[in-house]
Amino acid sequence: MTADRDVVLHRWLHTDRGAMRTAAITVSFTVALVAFAATLPLWVRDEPIVMGGAVYYNGTGSSFRWDFAAADAWWIAGLVLAVPVLFTVIGAIRARRRLARAERDIPWTADLSTIGAALTDAQRSAQVRSRQADLAARQQRFIEQNRSRISLWSLFGGPLAYFVGGWFLIGLTLDVTGATATPLGAWLSASSWFLLLLIMIPWSVIVTRADRRRAQAESRAV
């Protein structure tokens, strides 16, 4: 792919990288969590693992409790993250297909074959510049008229994996270490959703700024 193509396809390339990165992180986290959960029967007690949480709405709240055996933790971890993984993989596939369609359908060459051979050098150069300007205008119209934003599958699947997977990991860790027997551990187990949200806000800002700086650097490099 030439430098000119990178410039024209910049939006689709950026979206494709973001969607692929989201899917890769989600799948890697799921595999790591399942592998960690699979080791639990080797070193934890025989009592069931107890996980809980709290949901708040309209100033009130409710709590829930989930008990399961340590031997079942690995497939439960995979089940919990199955939907986020599916969403992010679909988002990555859609982003790659949009990139392929854009690369195929964007006009790439100006028609210079009809420029008359009898023209002077100055006239021929003017015709070439005119055709190239027309090509650039057609490419810009294509960019403006065709979707290049990241898919809702990725936008929803990534945060869902973060919250659901984070909650499961925190609850699992607190229970197997016995931390839930302490007031702080019990509070963290019930309020992990809020804690994850507080972490996500500055992390999202950092990632967004890093992506913008990277995109600007790529544009200058090209």
pLDDT tens-digit readout, 19-33: 999 999 999 999 999
Do 178 and 45 form a contact (C-beta atoms < 8 A)? no
Q: How confident is the model at residue 184 (pLDDT cuts 50, 70, 90)?
A: confident
pLDDT, one tens digit per residue, over 98-124 is 999 999 988 887 766 666 666 666 776
Q: How far apart are the first and last CA of the chain?
A: 12
Do 44 and 70 form a contact (C-beta atoms < 8 A)? yes
- Spatial distance between the Cα atoms of 31 and 155, rounded to a whole number of angstroms: 21
CA angle 27, 80, 57 (to 5 degrees): 120
Burial class (CB in 10 A: 0-12, 13-18, 19+), 44: middle
What distance lies between CA 21 and its chain's CA centroid?
6
pLDDT at 194: 81
- Spatial distance between the Cα atoms of 100 and 156, rounded to a whole number of angstroms: 23
> Which residues partner with 66 through β-bridges?
51
- Compare 122 and 10 and report the one with higher pLDDT: 10
Instruction: Enter the DSSP assignment of 150.
Output: P
Q: Which residue has the tokens 């859609």?
A: 94
Q: Which residue has the tokens 């799921």?
A: 30
pLDDT, one tens digit per residue, over 123-132 is 767 777 777 7
Whole-prediction pTM: 0.81
Q: How confident is the model at residue 62 (pLDDT cuts 50, 70, 90)?
A: low
Q: How confident is the model at residue 165 (pLDDT cuts 50, 70, 90)?
A: very high
Residues in the chain: 222
Do 87 and 164 form a contact (C-beta atoms < 8 A)? no
